[in-house]
Structure 1
Amino acid sequence: MTTITFDHAATGYTLAQARRLAHAAALAYKDDAQVKATANSWGFDRVKTFRVPHAAPFPLEDTQAYIAASDQMIVVAFRGTQPEELRDWLSDANTLLTPYTAGDGNVHAGFYRALDVVHPALLRTLEEWRTSGQSLWFTGHSLGGALAMLAAARTHFEDPSLLADGVYTYGQPRTCCPELAAAYDQAFRGRTFRFVNNNDIVAQLPPAPLFEHVAEERYFDTHGRLHEKMPATAGLIDRLGGAVADPLAPGTDGIRDHFINAYLTRFDTAQNEAASPAAGRKPKSGRGGVAAAAGLLPE
């Protein structure tokens, strides 16, 4: 069983912090009791969960999130959804843009509505609990990553004192138009890190150029190596390599690469290699549990 220890005094980007927040994103899939118990074990003495229903044409019935706070750190984490459902939904006519009230440009209408139902309660809790200048972190996987990014932006634009120290997302879909993405990147430069695992299908949707990703991407290649930046041509070649690495399961790579368990395995490998640079690397077809992660999306 993986042991996670949160450094409540953490600042700036580190691999260790990215791994911690990936586990915080995974925790959002658990029930309220497990969220509170686990967050308490990580040193957060205040934990509040949110489950707000909405009527958006979306592959889920409510928006779920939690806030965990200590005297030094606050983490806001959003729950995602099943990749097959999100892939199908993002590929159809529901991918409409709507004006974003917290900034210049347009945002995915479904994401906007999913955040809108929970944001007032989140903001009230943040303003109530952030009494000692704690660092502030947003995280989420899949749909939860899109909501984390939008929540960080809206929170800061509505209350400038609430500027996130970090926004870490995993398998996040494209969320907004190019103009809003550029405005976001300017406001959150050096604070946002968007992790993509090789052929993760959700990270490729909704289609460009109507929708644009925010910076900065961190990319796990087909061998599990983490890149700060992958050139477009090299990335295409790498994704093709990943797609044919498992001939027994053609066409499933994009789904398998999206599961949160696949990201957690990648981070475990990256951390081990950082601690032991001479350690060998396994090819994608033998990823030490990533293929087995398919179907292990936490319930």
Structure 2
Amino acid sequence: MEKLDLGQFIEKAIEGITNNAGPVLDGIALVIEGIVDGLQSALISTPSGVVMILMAIIAYIVQGGGVKPSLTKKGFKKAFGLSIFTVVGLFLLFWMDYWEETMETLALVLASAFIALVIGIPLGIWAARNSKADQVIRPVLDFMQTMPAFVYLIPAILFFSVGNVPGVVATVVFSLPPAVRLTSLGIRGVPAEVVEAAQSFGSTKRQLLFKVQIPLAMPTILAGVNQVIMLALSMVVIASMVGAAGLGERVYSGILQAKVGLGFEAGLGIVILAIILDRVTQALGGLGKK
């Protein structure tokens, strides 16, 4: 019996896609490049002090519970503490001369998370409302989550060459599963009594979804947003191997040149950015419960 050469089959499939879907791939690349370049230009061109203050205000508002919060003393300390940490952390990166790389990384993470959520949340809603779709989507998500992250770089390079675009594509694929899973979990977790009550009052499927299920599932969906952003940030260093700019590029340079200091400084920048994004998105989950 002839041996099955799965690798050769995949190579031929990728080659066929590349040859026959060139205009589609070019269009996808243009859209992704436009989003990333726009975010990077906006963040880098804005004065660093303005970015620090805006991010601190966002952190305070989100952690504090809204634009007009009624904070307890403990709540005020948490909100104020997060805003101070945001300013101090970002100023430290500016002082170490990593500001531009930090903004490039932030742009890559935001672009990747946005695309992953635009794809993942509708898929999660579909999986929650259609058992057959869930049976198909779930094993695909299992495959995506168990596949080593480095493997995603290979087709990304073949389809989109090198640069930010393949980095974003690989990051989107890597960070997509939590958005789908937690959205589906949140929709399915809405109490059956609430759904039946809405239906008994004559709610259509659209009204049931947007006025009942999604609002009640919002804390779980926002937990998925947090996981997507964290996974996207964890791909920063790996994406730098295909030419993605930012702090990951500095870490990768430190590895190649055996410069411990360079790698440590850039790694510290990633940690600071991760803490800020994690605390802000976790606080968003708290807002979703209100």
When normalised by structure 2's length, the TM-score is: 0.26
Bigger-Rg structure (1/2)? 2
Q: Which has the higher strand share?
A: 1
Between the two structures, name the one with larger relative contact order (CA 8 Å, sep ≥ 6).
2
Give the number of the structure whose residues are more often helix, by fraction. Answer: 2
